[in-house]
Structure 1
């Protein structure tokens, strides 16, 4: 008579797990580690330029470097700054329209202060950690 242990096949070790998925290079998010120090400084200045020149500098940096694969980090940061400055410009237009009912002047000052604060925070974060994503911005340029 056979025992239950005779009927169970010997256990085999489980097959090895596949290596973790690593996306191809073109799918990876560009990082500051893969960029040069000059790109990091230019990205910081691109974020800071929103204080004075609004969308001009981020647009120029993005248009010059958008087709260069070695400048992926700089392109990503300039698009982020450009999207934020476009959002701020739309806010200024809305504030200008709302000045008819007098709240626009107050909102204009608030938006101006927020622009200053977020541009400085973005520049500091980019100089320290390498990347920054604004908490609210319309992603119009992708």
Structure 2
């Protein structure tokens, strides 16, 4: 039996959780951490309750991480601060999807701090 929310959308917490975890493809294959969640979000945002909110948060995080990496490369010349930024970006890019996958499994809203709201 399919569970439907008040607004008529299907509730699919496992799909929301998997969508967050697909960001980790960057660490496994080197790419796909933006493309796969983007495809999942665009194809299911009108059918799954919460997918639009979670999808926007995922895309905003991935775009923010890309921007931070691009900006930290020239910052390496400034006393090595770019290296620290790259390390922190790598750690946040690994931990935040896991934390928010757990939150999605509980039915909570995503919480990505330090993200630039490219898509609102």
> Under a length normalisation based on structure 1, what TM-score does the superposition of the two structures give?
0.65
User: Is residue 41 of structure 2 the alignment partner of residue 62 of structure 1?
Assistant: yes
**Partner residue of 1:35 out of 10, 13, 16:** 10
**Contact 1:58/1:79, CA 8 A, preserved across alignment:** no
Q: 1:111 aligns with which of 70, 79, 89?
A: 89
Q: Does 1:46 align with 2:19?
A: yes
CA contact (8 A) 1:65 1:74 kept: yes
SS at structure 1 position matched to 2:77: helix
Contact 1:40 1:130 in 2 (8 A): no
Task: Provide the C-alpha distance between the structure 2 equivalents of 1:110 and 1:135, rounded to a whole number of angstroms.
Answer: 13
Structure 2: give runs of 5+ residues left out of the alignment: 26-31
Deviation at 1:123, TM superposition (A): 0.7
- 5 Å matches for 1:7-46? 35-36=10-11, 39-46=12-19
Q: Give the corresponding residue for 1:122.
A: 100
Name the Cα RMSD after superposition: 2.1
8 Å contact 2:13–2:107 — kept in the other structure?
no
Larger radius of gyration: 1
> Moved runs in structure 1, 4+ residues, more than 6 A?
none
Q: For 1:128 and 1:89, how far apart are their aligned partners in 2?
A: 28
